[in-house]
Structure 1
Amino acid sequence: MRHVIALDVGGTAMKAALVGADGELLHRARRATGRERGPDAVVADVLDFAADLRAHGIRRHGEAASAVGVAVPGIVDEAGGIAVYSANLGWRDVPLRALLAERFGGVPVALGHDVRAGGLAEGRIGAGRGTDRFLFVPLGTGIAGAIGIDGRVEAGAHGFAGEIGHVVVRPGGAPCPCGQRGCLERFASAAAVSEAWAAACGDPGADAADCAKAVESGDVRAREVWQEAVDALADGLVTALTLLDPRTLIIGGGLAEAGETLFTPLREAVRRRVTFQKLPSLVPAALGDTAGCLGAGLLAWDLIDPAGPSATPPSATGPSTPDPSTTDPSEVTT
């Protein structure tokens, strides 16, 4: 059965899949990234994980993968196939596409940015399916964005298109690691909400999920913290929609797991700020933490079939665990 290898390399875990021509997930697996062992070890583990997936495909489906797609964090030169920099993984200028192609005898390899890959999947097969223009914004430790136009995701001239988290929404506000002050992600990311709620409630272990629960229970302090984050996020989103005119805003990441506790006040805050702009649909992401891996698979299929597979979200098809013969002590299956 014809298939591709898809890998989503994160700061703590690598998610992987074999994706069939019709988008079916034939095999899924997860392993620790092992960044504590250094960048060279991470690169070696990526290559080994991909090799194990290739071997599984041969054993189980009778042929090797037709292509490989890899999504990584940080700064990515997608055209050159180079993982330029990742603070989380500690690597610089890793020719990941060339390394994988060499390992697999010249098989086509696509290298993409993790958020843009996730946006590609959400746009084609997730919450933005059928939408010609969308903006995907995951709210996690930081805030990033992916600009979707007619089935593709824009990287920009220098590879950082969509970095909405570093739009200044509170001039002179909290300093950001990027060097600016008042960036959106310093006020509306899951990490920022966690920090603000921990300070407000006096519990250093409290996080954004705890804040959401406190909002739902009517805690006044939690509502103040939450509304400040919602207002900052709305300011950033309205700036983005003014520039990009998306038909749909797709919000994902950990903070979006709060559901309508987030989306009800956020939709109202955006609506209040819109004047001449056309109000877009504002919807939750549909693919969860599988979006990056699914996007990597789509990137791989685009190399060999520009029309792309008609992929199906993981909840609808595919095995929930890989074949036991491929499991090792370092692998956690999903």
Structure 2
Amino acid sequence: MRHVIALDVGGTGMKAALVGADGTLLHRARRSTGRERGPDSVVADILDFAADLRAHGIEHYGEPARAAGVAVPGIIDEAEGVAVYSANLGWRDVPLRARLTERLGVPVALGHDVRAGGLAEGRIGAGRGTDRFLFVPLGTGIAGAIGIDGRVEAGAHGFAGEIGHIVVRPGGAPCPCGQRGCLERFASASAVSEAWAAACGDPGADAADCAEAVAAGDARARAVWQEAVDALADGLVTALTLLDPRTLIIGGGLAEAGETLFTPLREAVRRRVTFQKLPSLVPAALGDTAGCLGAGLLAWDLLETAGSPAPSAPSEVTA
């Protein structure tokens, strides 16, 4: 049974799957990233995980994977297959594609985690059938994926879609990127958690707690939430002015608040739009599986260039 390996490497955990030629998810697995043991150990764990997935395919499906797709965070040189920089994993210039190709003996596609998630959302998730979209996951930080006609734009230097570093509040809170007032300092899940913890006096409070308090009518929570919504709307309108997407897809932990987020956000974007065409603003559909599904699509795309067709949409786990 023909299949590929799909790996989504995060700051704390790795999600993986074997994806069949018809799009079926044949096997899924998760492991810790193990970043506390250092960047070299993370690379070793990725190689071991991929090798174990290859062995599983041989044992259960009668042949090794035809290719592998791996999505990782940070700055990625997709053409060269190099993880240029990742603060979360402590990487600099890691030739990850070459290391995996050597270990697995098959073609390997290396991609950015958010862009891979955007690829999956665009093809088989909330953006399916949309020619132009912007995927924005609101997590610890904020990034973005620019989707155009079934592909996701990486940019000339691998930075395309970094909407979290649009300055929305000049002179505002300092950002690790070196600027002040970046969008992710106001509208990420971590920023909302920090602001709500300070407002309610509970250092353990987080963004989910804030959303619950908003729904319950807490005035302090509403103020914190509205500040985040307004900052996010400013960033999104800047992006849609430049990119003119047909659909804005919002994912990540903050989007789990549902209409507590989407109702005021749609209104805030609508108020800011003047000459621009108002896009659809929808929640992501694939949850935390998007990156892994996107990695699988990258692997099938790689094979498609050699004549093997890519599947249209992965289905449920069957083994």
TM tier, shorter chain?
A: over 0.9
Q: Normalized against structure 2, the TM-score is what?
A: 0.98
Instruction: Pick the aligned partner of 1:311 from 307, 310, 313.
Output: 313
Q: Residues of 1 paired with 2:152 and 2:102: CA distance?
A: 27
Q: Residues of 2 paired with 1:41 and 1:172: CA distance?
A: 39
Q: Residues of 1 paired with 2:310 and 2:151: CA distance?
A: 11
Aligned to 1:213: 212
Structure 1 position 65 matched with structure 2 position 65: yes
Aligned to 2:53: 53
Moved segments of 4+, more than 2 Å: none
- CA drift of 1:23 comes to 1.1
Q: Which string of whole-angstrom CA distances, capped at 9 and with x for unpartnered residues, describes residues 100-146 of structure 1?
A: 111122x1100000000000000000000000000000000000000
Unpaired segments ≥5 residues, structure 2: none
1:36 aligned partner, one-letter code: E
- CA drift of 1:172 comes to 0.7
Q: Normalized against structure 1, the TM-score is what?
A: 0.94
Q: Residues of 2 paired with 1:318 and 1:24: CA distance?
A: 7
1:13 aligned partner, one-letter code: G
SS in 1 for 2:5: strand
Structure 1 position 201 matched with structure 2 position 200: yes
Aligned to 1:260: 259
Aligned to 2:134: 135
Q: Which string of whole-angstrom CA distances, capped at 9 and with x for unpartnered residues, describes residues 214-266 of structure 1?
A: 00000000000000000000000000000000000000000000000000000
Aligned to 2:95: 95
- CA drift of 1:36 comes to 0.5
Q: Residues of 2 paired with 1:98 and 1:207: CA distance?
A: 40
Q: Which string of whole-angstrom CA distances, capped at 9 and with x for unpartnered residues, describes residues 277-320 of structure 1?
A: 000000000000000000000000001125521113xxx5223x
2:29 aligned partner, one-letter code: A
Fraction of identical pairs, as percent: 89
Aligned to 2:231: 232
Give yes or no for contact 2:50–2:104 (8 Å, CA) kept in 1: no
Structure 1 position 114 matched with structure 2 position 116: no
Q: Residues of 1 paired with 2:221 and 2:203: CA distance?
A: 15
1:221 aligned partner, one-letter code: R
Aligned to 1:327: none
SS in 2 for 1:186: helix
Q: Residues of 2 paired with 1:50 and 1:152: CA distance?
A: 25
- CA drift of 1:91 comes to 1.4
Q: Residues of 1 paired with 2:204 and 2:303: CA distance?
A: 48
Q: Residues of 2 paired with 1:210 and 1:318: CA distance?
A: 32
1:201 aligned partner, one-letter code: C
1:128 aligned partner, one-letter code: G
SS in 1 for 2:204: coil
SS in 1 for 2:203: coil
Q: Residues of 2 paired with 1:205 and 1:214: CA distance?
A: 14
Q: 1:1-334 residue pairs with structure 2 within 5 A?
A: 1-105=1-105, 107-306=106-305, 307-312=309-314, 317-319=316-318
RMSD (CA atoms): 0.8
